[in-house]
Structure 1
Amino acid sequence: MIIDIIGDIHGYADKLTGLLKQLGYVHNGKCFMPPDGHRALFIGDLIDRGSQQLATLEIVFAMLDAGVAEAVMGNHEYNALAFATLDPHHNNSQPARYLRSHNEVHVRQHKAFLAEIPFGSEAHQYWLRRFYEIPLWLETDYGCFVHACWDVDSMAVLQPLLTADNCLTPEVLIMTAQKNSPPHEALERVLKGVETALPEGMVMVDKDGSERSQVRVRWWLDDLNTRPIHEIARAPSSGMAQIPKDAMAENIDFALKTYKPVFVGHYWLTGNPEPLSIQVICTDYSAAVDSGYLTCYQLDTSEPLPLNAANFVQYRHD
């Protein structure tokens, strides 16, 4: 069996259609059907940014409903649920507050989705229900699949709270949205990755214009705590410009605790696709910008290792 692991789509249905056809999938009038011996797996972040949100969801969920594909949740699907859910811990005498605040940055991030699927509409409620059906991670005999980070310690915190299929419930959404709680920290690891603190008093500005006192790190590297932050950071060089070159990473509590290959999205990579390590593949090559390409890694379940750059397929829309 070949598993076609497809990276972050972000509402670019035309790129998704192009990639599926390139991989040999054929639409049968209801959904895209894989070639013999193939199956698709979507690595999360189906929504936000692009102008074809609804078409993307219809393509992906038609394949899920037909049993020819699987998916894991991305942070953007999680954010959509939190953006639409009132915080029950909020003082009722104050204006309504959602689990994900409706501030300028969050509204801008979610604008493309809500432009097609208006907030509070019947369609909005339908797609939120469908997002609850997507597991936070999948593990098989041949691989581990998660949007941002395969952290078994964080998964151990979350798993007793989730459904048998590792899916969220509305109650667990509320629990994981409570900042500084163990469920929140675990959810952040799984869907957003590992972070380390910047030197005291320093911040960086991310691609959405938000100031951050922490930076995501390339957790697939060895010896994270013995390297300079610049060496392990997963951030634009412009954002790191104010951080001293000799500032060291500290107190990163993470180790990859599996011998299986791990597949993620999330990281907005560029250039020619290649494995991140002997064990980790990322299929997010920035399809949400014109210069990026929707990317797939074709995993042979009979021989998952070694990972091979030749197994990548990109839809070159330009």
Structure 2
Amino acid sequence: MIIDIIGDIHGYADKLIGLLTQLGYVHNGQYFEPPNNHRALFIGDLIDRGSQQLATLELVFAMLDADVADAVMGNHEYNALAYATIDPNEPDQYLRPHNAIHTAQHQAFLAEIAFGSDLHRYWLARLYELPLWIETDYACFVHACWDVDSMAVLQPLLSANHCLTEQALIMTSQKHSLPYEALERVLKGVETPLPAGLVIIDKEGTERSRVRVRWWLDELNKRTIHQIARAPDSGLAQIPIDALAENIDFTLKTDKLVFVGHYWLTGEPQPLSAQVICTDYSAAVDSGYLTCYQLETTKSLALSSSNFVQHRHDC
């Protein structure tokens, strides 16, 4: 069996159609049917940013319904649910506040799927069907970070197949709680605080006092922030070159391969480590390519750059 692990689509249905066609999938009038012995797996962040939100959802869920694909939830699907759910502790507020930044992040979705409409309610219900993670005999699939300790916190709140319930959504939205921190790890990754008084500006203009780190590296607490950070050069320029990462409580506790999206990589695709692959190569910008990693489960599971396939939409 070959698993075609497809990176963050972000509402770019044309790029998805191009990649599926390139991989040999054929639309049979209802869904994209895979080549013999193939199955697709979407690594999350189906929505937001692009101009083809509804088409993307329809394409992906048609494949899920036909049982020719699997998918995990990304942070953007989680955010969509939280944005639409009233906070029971503050009935005049939503779990994800409707401030300018959050609304701008979600605007492409809301432009096609009107807030509070029947169509909105339908797709929110479908998003609840996406598990937070999938583990097989040969590999682990999650949007941002395979953290078994965080998963142990979350599992009692979830359905049997690791899906959110509305109560789990509420609990994981309560800032600074254990469920909140666990959800942040799984869907957004591992962070470390910056030196006191320093902030960096992310790609959306938000000030951050913490920075995401490359958790797939060894000995995180013995490296400088510059060595392990996932941040733009302009942000890192504000951090002393010798500033050390501190108190990163994370160890990858599996011997299986791990597949993620989320990280907006660029350049020629390659494994992040001998064990970890990211398939997010910034498809949500014109210069980014929707990317797939083809994992053949019956052969050697050694990771190889030659197993990546990118849809070069601009060629």
Tell me the TM-score normalized by structure 1: 0.98
Distance 1:16 1:257 in 2: 32
Q: Deviations over 1:188-234 (max 9, x none)?
A: 00000000000011111101111010000000001100100011000
Task: State the identity as a percent.
Answer: 77
SS, match of residue 240 in structure 2: coil
Extract structure 1 runs of 4+ deviating beyond 4 A. none
How many equivalent residue pairs?
Answer: 314
Q: Are the counterparts in 2 of residues 204 and 213 from structure 1 also a CA contact under 8 Å?
A: yes
SS, match of residue 314 in structure 1: strand
Distance 1:154 1:45 in 2: 20
Distance 1:103 1:284 in 2: 27
The structure-2 alpha-carbon separation of the partners of 1:230 and 1:67, relative to structure 1 and needing over 3 Å to count, comes to: same
Instruction: In structure 1, list runs of 5 or more residues that go unmatched.
Output: none
Q: Are the counterparts in 2 of residues 12 and 56 from structure 1 also a CA contact under 8 Å?
A: yes
The aligned counterpart of 1:34 is 34
The structure-2 alpha-carbon separation of the partners of 1:288 and 1:125, relative to structure 1 and needing over 3 Å to count, comes to: same
SS, match of residue 238 in structure 1: helix
Structure 1 residue 303 displacement after superposition = 2.8
Distance 1:159 1:242 in 2: 39
Distance 1:227 1:86 in 2: 42
Q: 2:263 aligns with which of 252, 267, 274?
A: 267
Alignment of structure 1 residues 87-98 onto 2, 5 Å: 87-90=87-90, 92=91, 96-98=92-94
Q: Are the counterparts in 2 of residues 135 and 166 from structure 1 also a CA contact under 8 Å?
A: yes
Amino acid at match of 2:223: R
The structure-2 alpha-carbon separation of the partners of 1:196 and 1:157, relative to structure 1 and needing over 3 Å to count, comes to: same
Alignment of structure 1 residues 234-249 onto 2, 5 Å: 234-249=230-245
Distance 1:303 1:228 in 2: 38
Q: Are the counterparts in 2 of residues 48 and 111 from structure 1 also a CA contact under 8 Å?
A: yes
The aligned counterpart of 1:230 is 226
1:200 and 2:200 aligned: no
1:301 and 2:297 aligned: yes
Q: Are the counterparts in 2 of residues 44 and 265 from structure 1 also a CA contact under 8 Å?
A: yes
Amino acid at match of 2:82: A
Structure 1 residue 304 displacement after superposition = 5.2
Distance 1:312 1:264 in 2: 14
SS, match of residue 97 in structure 1: strand
1:258 and 2:254 aligned: yes
The aligned counterpart of 1:141 is 137
Distance 1:148 1:240 in 2: 21
Q: How much is the aligned-residue C-alpha RMSD, in angstroms?
A: 0.6
1:123 and 2:119 aligned: yes
The aligned counterpart of 1:44 is 44
Q: Are the counterparts in 2 of residues 143 and 304 from structure 1 also a CA contact under 8 Å?
A: no
Structure 1 residue 240 displacement after superposition = 1.7
1:156 and 2:156 aligned: no
Instruction: In structure 2, list runs of 5 or more residues that go unmatched.
Output: none
The aligned counterpart of 1:210 is 206
Alignment of structure 1 residues 176-187 onto 2, 5 Å: 176-187=172-183
SS, match of residue 82 in structure 2: helix
The aligned counterpart of 1:114 is 110
Tell me the TM-score normalized by structure 2: 0.99
Q: Deviations over 1:33-83 (max 9, x none)?
A: 000000000000000000000000000000000000000000000000000
Distance 1:55 1:266 in 2: 21
